[in-house]
Amino acid sequence: MKRMEIFKIVGIGLLTCVVATLIKQIRPEFYIVVILSGSVVILMMIVNELQVLFDYFLTIFGQTGLDYELFASILKILGVGYLTEFASGICVDSGNASIGDKIILAGKVLIVVLSLPIITSLLDIIIEILP
Amino acid sequence: MDYSVIMKIAAIGILTAVVSQVLKNIGKDEIATFATLAGLIIVLIMCVNMISELFDTVKLLFLM
């Protein structure tokens, strides 16, 4: 039954495209809201599958014996990446590519800041190995 | 979460287009502008609710 989800998502995506093109000609200011709603609907549909996937990754990660904080920061980086991509795509679609670029830059900076603990633990390991 | 919200937004868009067209024809230009603005605000409120739901879900899912 899970495989039927893709037909639903493809249908909603194509429907959003048609509605957005239709609405752009009569009310251009509604265009961006249609695109935004379509994106949110599609993203909300895959959230449950993503939850299953992350639980599985967490099980694997638990068997490696590494610090849980590392897994949490990787998840946070993923979240920042997804949200940044979502928002910048909407901005580019609405014709404001420069705002989209700024959002991507902010996302990159935040990802580097979030990955500092990982870099620190890597450096600690290297210092331990060195004689 | 299903696709009916997209159709709702499209319907509101077409409805406001018709209303503002009629109002313009009978010479009430400023009321036509306000009708369009009201439609846009209604649609934006619907959209903002959905986006806040998405942000809550992402916060929960990605342990933020």
Model confidence band, residue A5 (pLDDT cutoffs 50, 70, 90): confident
pLDDT at position A106, please?
96
pLDDT at position B1, please?
62
A130 contact B CB<8A:
no
Q: How far apart are CA A103 and CA A94, in angstroms?
A: 14
Model confidence band, residue B3 (pLDDT cutoffs 50, 70, 90): confident
Mean pLDDT of A18-31: 87
Q: Do A41 and B58 touch (CB under 8 A)?
A: no
A12 contact B CB<8A:
yes
pLDDT at position B4, please?
86
Residue A103 in this model has a pLDDT that exceeds 60: yes
Q: How far apart are CA B37 and CA B33, in angstroms?
A: 6
Please provide the DSSP assignment of B12-32 as one string: HHHHHHHHHHHHHHTT-HHHH
- Would you list the domain boundaries of chain B? 4-61
Mean pLDDT of B27-54: 89
pLDDT at position A1, please?
55
pLDDT at position A17, please?
92
Mean pLDDT of B42-56: 90
3-state SS track over A86-107: HHHHHHHHCCCHHHHHHHHHHH
The ipTM is 0.76
pLDDT at position A88, please?
94
> What's chain A's average pLDDT?
89
Residue B23 in this model has a pLDDT that exceeds 80: yes
Mean pLDDT of A47-76: 85
A4 contact B CB<8A:
no
Model confidence band, residue A97 (pLDDT cutoffs 50, 70, 90): very high
Question: Smallest CA–CA separation between B19 and chain A, in Å?
Answer: 12
Residue A11 in this model has a pLDDT that exceeds 80: yes
Closest partner residue to B54 (CB to CB) among A38, A40, A50 is: A40
From first CA to last CA, the distance across chain A in angstroms is 57
Residue A87 in this model has a pLDDT that exceeds 90: yes
pLDDT at position A2, please?
65
Q: Do B36 and A26 touch (CB under 8 A)?
A: no
